[in-house]
Amino acid sequence: MILIGEDLNVMSKQISQAIKERNPEAIRECVVGQTQNSMDYLDLNVGPVTKEPMETMEWLVKTVQEFTDLPLCLDSTNPVAMEAGLKVCNKKALINSASGTSESREKMLPLAPKYSAGLVLSVINDTGLPSDADERAASILESLEFANEQGLPNEDIWIDPVLLPVGVDQRQVTAYLEFIQMIPDLAPGAKSLCGLSNLSYGAPKELKGLLNRTFLVMMGRYGQTSAIVSGFDEELVRINKGEMPDIVKLIHRAMDEDDMDISSLPQKELEYVKTTQVLMGRSLYSHSWLEV
Amino acid sequence: MKYEAPLEKHSVKIREAVLGQGERAIRIGGENTFPFHFFEGSLPNSQGLALEIIDTQPENWAPWVLEPFQDVITNPADWAKKCVEVFGAEILCLRLLSTDPMGKDASPKEAAETTKKVADAIDVPLIVWGTGAEEKDSQVLTEVAQVCSGKNFLLGPVLKGNYKEIAKAALEHGHAIVAQASMDVNLTKELNIALCKFFPPEKIVLDTTSSALGYGLEYTFSIIESIKQIGLVDKDNMMLMPILADFGGDCWRTKEAKEAREQGILWEAITGITFLLAGANILILRHPDTLKLIKEMISE
């Protein structure tokens, strides 16, 4: 799976401070660390950048490119900042993100063909987030048609089905899994992308990684091509590189409800199985799901 | 060909909880099917209908809610007695409103004394309810548990922030508890898991918090229904406790209930019967006529 490191994010106090002061040091640490942990892209989440959007984005993109050769995923809701960033990207960038809303179609989406960039296209539209797999399909088909008409081929489109926190609505997690299996038919050639950490939003800090890694394997099995992830999770990278085949196999078996004697499993394996059960929607989520 | 409607059988059942003691002890829960599905499974116990009494002079009650209790309203023990002897209540809920730290802030000792007087005046099971102020409830309900040791009260609400103290006292002194998590199945399970590490699950009743007809009833309905489904269908051991719905106060606060007596009683009764349909095992009611009406409806 293509992994995009999410840690360069204005939600982090350190990063937001560094951007404000135009101080490259904290940026360097974040960029180099994620690059060394084998990320394929780096996400630059600058939020809406209400102050000096063009200067800020331009400075950030140039600064990041001094420390890494990785391609960038520009993450902003502000099309002005987005365009300024795209102008100075050395490699083919990814726009994160556009959606089916009228405003996004008008202002964000056209930037992709204009700068030959990739485009993250979410299933959100003017009526909000579709509630199940079929509605997601209907929404994305409309957006795809529009994008294709604008000269953007499926190959440049990364579909974001929008992954919600398991603690908010478990059924949305299973709806997500159902939907990604439909993507190859709906949009041949397109990629799929999600913000994986959103899954564990609100979960106990020490257990977020477990939820995220388990789901990475689950959606990988159903054809997911890429994810925005915690750029410093080394176990997640090892799983993605195929270095933990036993865990992957175990998660697949748990997904299939294979008969297994869970009482004989070592702690770590048991945790992956219990987490799979929760993410398959078979056992109600609570923050103490490992304790039952 | 003759059509036979498919039946859904479940291999687990809702835990049976015992409230009170002696001849008038009451059992709730124990069903292995959904509410009123007599054709599909067994529902060994009927739902518990409680009337509430308050340890302090009620404020802002409509005249038709005060009227039945007018002669006993200054004395909780007499009020309790009348509810049992005249209105036929089989369970009572004593609200210790006087302990509200934002109000009269009565001491745990005073509250426990009142509770004891009420308990001594009646022989039916008693639910003892705090104000929801976590720290104060913890002091009040642990004191009540101790002073009325062995009475098998139902103590609540037990919340995330005070479950350890109250459940420990309940366990030590032989009481059951009401675990409350507001309108959230995940948090309900969370609290149950934490409690069941040291507290027997058969002594836990769940409260999702309830809203009146027209004021969010459908949310309560969905949550109660979900808990029952997750318990019976998914066999989730942490979601197989009986459920309590406490909504009398919310109903009688509505504009509609304050407008007219009949309307108020119907408001409370419709809210109550709806929660029974969702799966509630105990209702806490305010008006004796509502009690009568619901009793008639479910006994038919």
To the nearest whole Å, the CA of A169 is away from the closest chain B CA by: 9
B175: contact with A, CB 8 A cutoff: no
CA atoms lying within 13 Å on the CB side of residue B269: 18
CB contact under 8 A, A284 and B189: yes
To the nearest whole Å, the CA of B186 is away from the closest chain A CA by: 5
CB contact under 8 A, B190 and A288: yes
- Chain centroid, CA B258 distance in Å: 23
Tens of pLDDT, residue by residue over B143-190, are 999 999 999 999 999 999 999 999 999 999 999 999 999 999 999 999
Give CA separation, A250 vs A210, A271, A274, A277, A292, in Å: 14, 11, 11, 12, 19
Residue A195 confidence (pLDDT): 97
CB contact under 8 A, A286 and B238: yes
pLDDT of B109 above 80? yes
Query: Is B217 a domain residue?
Result: yes
In chain B, the number of structural domains is 1
Contact criterion met (CB below 8 Å) for B91 and B132: no
Query: Is B32 a domain residue?
Result: no
Amino acid at residue number B80: A
Alpha carbons A216 and B179: distance in angstroms, whole number: 35
pLDDT of B300 above 80? no
Domains of chain A with CATH codes: 2-232 (3.20.20.20)
Alpha carbons A136 and A161: distance in angstroms, whole number: 7
pTM of the model: 0.89
CB contact under 8 A, B234 and A291: no
Dig out the tokens for B115 from the structure. Answer: 């509770």
To the nearest whole Å, the CA of B189 is away from the closest chain A CA by: 6
Amino acid at residue number A158: W
Residue B101 confidence (pLDDT): 97
Residue B93's φ and ψ, nearest 5 degrees, are -125, 115
B286: contact with A, CB 8 A cutoff: no
Residue in chain A nearest B190 by alpha carbon = A286
Query: Is B189 a domain residue?
Result: yes
Instruction: Look up the ipTM and state it.
Output: 0.83
Residue A259 confidence (pLDDT): 81
Give CA separation, B300 vs A269, A288, B149, B291, in Å: 53, 43, 38, 15
Residue in chain B nearest A169 by alpha carbon = B186
Per-residue confidence at B131, pLDDT binned at 50, 70, 90? very high
CATH code of the domain containing B83: 3.20.20.20
Chain A residues with CB under 8 Å of a chain B CB are 167, 282-288, 291-292
Quote the strand ranges of chain A, DSSP E: 2-9, 41-47, 72-76, 94-98, 118-122, 157-160, 191-192, 226-229
CB contact under 8 A, B193 and A167: no
Instruction: Using CB atoms, pick whichever of A282, A286, A291 lies closest to residue B186.
Output: A286
B 205-234 → A contacts, CB under 8 A? 230, 234
Tell me whether strands A191-192 and A226-229 are parallel, antiparallel or unpaired: unpaired
Instruction: Using CB atoms, pick whichever of A284, A287, A288 lies closest to residue B185.
Output: A284
Tens of pLDDT, residue by residue over B25-74, are 999 999 999 999 999 999 999 999 999 999 999 999 999 999 999 999 99
CB contact under 8 A, B190 and A167: no
To the nearest whole Å, the CA of B248 is away from the closest chain A CA by: 29
Alpha carbons A3 and A235: distance in angstroms, whole number: 13
pLDDT of B126 above 90? yes
B147: contact with A, CB 8 A cutoff: no
Instruction: Using CB atoms, pick whichever of A167, A283, A287 lies closest to residue B236.
Output: A283
Contact criterion met (CB below 8 Å) for B208 and B230: no
Average pLDDT value for chain B: 97
Amino acid at residue number A45: N
Contact criterion met (CB below 8 Å) for A94 and A71: yes
The tens place of each residue's pLDDT in chain A, 292 residues long, gives 999 999 999 999 999 999 999 999 999 999 999 999 999 999 999 999 989 999 999 999 999 999 999 999 999 999 999 999 999 999 999 999 999 999 999 999 999 999 999 999 999 999 999 988 999 999 999 999 999 999 999 999 999 999 999 999 899 999 999 999 999 999 999 999 999 999 999 999 999 999 999 999 999 999 999 999 999 999 999 999 999 999 999 999 999 988 888 889 999 999 999 999 999 999 999 999 999 8
To the nearest whole Å, the CA of B183 is away from the closest chain A CA by: 12
Instruction: Using CB atoms, pick whichever of B186, B194, B197 lies closest to residue A284.
Output: B186
Give CA separation, A141 vs A110, A189, A195, in Å: 17, 14, 21
Instruction: Using CB atoms, pick whichever of A282, A284, A288 lies closest to residue B239.
Output: A284
Query: Is B13 a domain residue?
Result: no
To the nearest whole Å, the CA of A182 is away from the closest chain B CA by: 27
Instruction: Using CB atoms, pick whichever of A167, A282, A291 lies closest to residue B193.
Output: A291
CB contact under 8 A, B186 and A292: no
Alpha carbons B166 and B156: distance in angstroms, whole number: 9
SS3 B298: helix
SS3 A110: coil
Query: Is B128 a domain residue?
Result: yes
To the nearest whole Å, the CA of A284 is away from the closest chain B CA by: 7
B183: contact with A, CB 8 A cutoff: no
Across the range B252-280, mean pLDDT stands at 96
CA atoms lying within 13 Å on the CB side of residue B251: 29
Query: Is B3 a domain residue?
Result: no
Query: Is B53 a domain residue?
Result: yes
Partners of B236 on chain A (C-beta within 8 Å) are 283-284
Dig out the tokens for B39 from the structure. Answer: 């054709």
Mutate to test the interface with B, among A284, A291, A292 (most CBs of B within 10 A): A284
Residue A244 confidence (pLDDT): 97
Residue B108 confidence (pLDDT): 98
Query: Is B288 a domain residue?
Result: yes
Dig out the tokens for B209 from the structure. Answer: 């918090």
Show the domain range for B273.
43-299
